[in-house]
Chain A
Amino acid sequence: MAAPENKRPTYYEELRQRGYSRRDFMKFCTMMAAYLGLEATGTAQIANTLLKTPRIPVIWLHFQECTCCSESFIRSSHPIVADILLDKLSLDYTETLMAASGHAAEAAKEKTMKDYYGEYVLCVEGSVPVDNDGVYCCIGGKSAIQVLEEAAAGAKAIIAWGSCACNGCVQAAYPNPTGATPIHKLVKGKPIIKVPGCPPIGEVMAGVLVHIITFGRLPELDKVGRPKAFYSKRVHDSCYRRPYYDAGLFVESFDDENAKKGYCLYKVGCKGPMTYNSCGIIKWNDGVSYPIQSGHGCIGCSEANFWDNGPLYRQMASFPGFGIESNADKVGMVAAGVTAAGIAVHAIATNVRKKKLVDDLVAEGKESEKELKS
């Protein structure tokens, strides 16, 4: 690290200043290592890094979003998460939480981008509207796409927070009036990590940042670009209602007897079988609960286009291009009906048009029958 950087307090020093004990710090490191699925030595690695390195500069941009990702993050179960990583001290720029505003804030961002060119981590919350030159989202006189491009140029890595930044979420749902576009489609040539979810789990977000800080690189990603540690299993794979699913015992409607018994929520639309996330393991609000535990099916908020792929409260294959109320089975049954009608027409036509052929066969057969002895 360059000389002036050493004058800045390290993560650990900052924490001590804020009144955390070494014990708190070690607990935090242990928790993070566990979430990241590191070996036992991982705790020491994390502790070591946070002890020695000054914080890495972070720029956190907000575009088309509802800020639920930030909300989730600051409610992460361990207080250090918010303090160390999202406190205004650690964040050089984030519209919703920084103390500065107006020109001062923009100037601070510019300065970070210049001073730490190639070093800062760029976090993006929200999708970017590209239709009509991006007029649908402007900040400080610039369109979201301009802001993103400027900030991305000098970023070491980009974190796409939440479904908005990863796949466009609801604003990209059909007909996507603003041309809402996820980050990976706009920025090329930079390492991008996707942390989908609406919002993602706070601990997952913290884990991703801690990994980047500790190891100086992105965690292992899957084919989609999500961290494997948190997105390699389906919600369904860790669901405690799974025995009911396997038994074929389902909640039929939200207040029936089966719902009271805690049966599987598949038939009231649970998308757990198609959704890759750690809700069933890490859970929410300090491990209190998660949607399925509260009696509501998973809506698949961390999956691409979950809005457009069928209704939320039914298990139903939608059929692209056939309107909202259509589903694959309705279309299929109509097609089967049309086919059956076609077959009937053809069968009748056969008996008319091919009468001669058939009559010949019948006559020949009958004649042979007559000629044979009984």
Chain B
Amino acid sequence: MKKKGHYLRRVFVWQLPVRVYHWLNALVIVALCATGYLIGSPPAIMSNVEASHRYLFGIIRFIHFVAAYIFFFNFIFRIYWGFVGNKYADWKNFIPTNKKYFQQMWEVLKLDIFMMKGKENPSIGHNALAGFTYFLTFIAFLIQCITGFGLYASMTDWWFADMFVWVSNVFGGDFALRNWHHAAMWFFILFAMVHVYLVFYHDYVEGRGEISSMGGGWKFIEEEVFEEEKA
């Protein structure tokens, strides 16, 4: 049993812009997956209403495109914040730049994924493995934005989306482009499943407020760890 008076220290980890980014991102990804799925497999509606009185599919697509724009600019904003935000928001959390990063990744893999025994050493911001996984999701974001705007380019006259006309040709036409865009949706779904589970997992075994950290912005660390890490 731990010594009595297990002191925890409050550390401010996620700045407000990071939290806003996170929840906006979550919201639009859910919207994009839902509307995207419907665009691919629209429900059967038997109706006698005149087509001119309905715009259901148009609305579904409209939501997809609005969410797509938010998703894209939110993503760009997050990249920007990776250069100006605090140390836990910094881009170095996501891209392995030194050997230590890989060692930490291996540690997390051993302890949290393979459940091997070892010294528990919970990280304060992102752990190395999570950070790297987010880097992969950023690449998926990029792919989804490029394929999405590539499809969208033929539906609009706005110069911004029209910058993506080259995409279709690179993928070998709209057919293939659409298939890629559709298949990539599943990455988002699988990621969301694992991501949500792991947040609960960390909250459960570490008891440091992992879940609520994306709300208030802080996590709690042991006083000793704080003293150790304080350089």
- Chain A residues at the B interface, C-beta cutoff of 8 Å: 223-224, 233-234, 237, 243-250, 252, 257-258, 266-267, 271, 273-276, 300, 303-306, 309-310, 315-320, 328-329, 331-332, 335-336, 339-340, 343, 346-347, 349-350, 353-354, 357-358, 360-361, 363-365
When A234-B154, A247-B56, A317-B178 are in contact, do A335 and B6 touch as well, CB less than 8 Å?
A: no
Which chain A residues lie closer than 8 Å to B60 at the CB level? 248
User: Cβ of B182 < 8 Å from any Cβ of A?
Assistant: yes
Q: What residues on B are CB-neighbors of A357 within 8 Å?
A: 120, 205-206
Q: Give the top 5 A-B pairs by smallest Cβ distance, nearest first.
A: A332-B186, A317-B182, A248-B56, A274-B174, A248-B57
Within 8 A of A (CB), among B41-92: 41-47, 49, 51-58, 60
Q: Which residues of B contact A267 (CB under 8 A)?
A: 42, 44
Report Cα–Cα, A364/B197, bound state, in Å: 24
* Chain A at the B interface: SS class: helix
Complex formed: what's the CA distance from A170 to B100 in Å? 53
Q: Are B1 and A363 within 8 A (Cβ)? A: yes
Query: A332, B189: Cβ atoms under 8 Å?
Result: yes
Residue numbers of B with Cβ under 8 A of A are 1-2, 6, 40-47, 49, 51-58, 60, 113, 115, 117, 120, 154, 165-166, 168-169, 172-179, 182-183, 185-186, 189-190, 193-194, 197, 201, 204-207
Nearest CB on A from B2, distance (A): 6
**In the bound complex, CA of A320 to CA of B179 (Å):** 9
Instruction: Assess whether A340 is in contact with B41, with CB atoms less than 8 Å apart.
Output: no
CA distance A275 to B52 in the complex (A): 25
Question: Which residues of B lie under 8 Å from residue A247 when comparing CB positions?
Answer: 49, 51-58
A250 near B44 with CB under 8 A, answer: yes
Inter-subunit contact B175/A223 (CB<8 Å): no
In the complex, number of A-B residue pairs with CB atoms less than 8 Å apart: 148
Q: What residues of B have a CB within 8 angstroms of the CB of A347 in the complex? A: 197, 201
**A328 → chain B, closest Cβ, in Å?**
4
Cβ–Cβ contact B51 & A305, under 8 A: no
Q: Report which of B42, B49, B115, B183 forms a contact with A332, defined as CB distance below 8 A.
A: B183
Knowing that A267-B42, A305-B173, A350-B205 are A-B contacts, what are 9 other residue pairs whose CB atoms are under 8 Å apart, sorted by A's residue number?
A223-B169, A224-B173, A247-B49, A247-B54, A248-B56, A258-B46, A319-B183, A361-B205, A364-B1
Given contacts A250-B44, A303-B173, A315-B40, contact A336 B190 (CB under 8 A): yes
Task: Look across to chain A and name the residue whose beta carbon is closest to the beta carbon of B38.
Answer: A248
Nearest opposing residue in chain A for B193, CB measure? A339
Between A306, A319, A346, the greatest number of chain B beta carbons within 10 A of the residue's beta carbon is seen for: A346
Q: Are A346 and B179 in contact (CB under 8 A)?
A: no
Chain B residues whose CB sits within 8 angstroms of the CB of A304 once the complex forms = 172-173, 175-176
List, in ascending order, chain A residues with CB within 8 A of B41's CB.
315, 329
A361 — which chain B residues lie within 8 A by C-beta?
Answer: 205, 207
B166 and A343 form a contact (CB under 8 A): no
Q: Are B55 and A250 in contact (CB under 8 A)?
A: no
| Smallest beta-carbon distance A274→chain B, Å | 4
- A323 CB, nearest partner CB in chain B, Å: 14
Find out whether the CB atom of B175 lies under 8 angstroms from the CB atom of A354. no
Q: Are A249 and B45 in contact (CB under 8 A)?
A: yes
Q: Is the CB of A245 within 8 A of B52?
A: no
Smallest CB separation, A127 vs chain B (Å) = 16
Say whether, besides A303-B174, A361-B207, A243 and B51 are in contact (CB < 8 Å). yes
Assess whether B51 is in contact with A328, with CB atoms less than 8 Å apart.
no
The answer to whether A266 touches B42 (Cβ under 8 A) is: yes
Measured CA separation A303–B175 after assembly (Å): 8
Chain A CB count within 10 A is highest, among B53, B56, B176, for B176
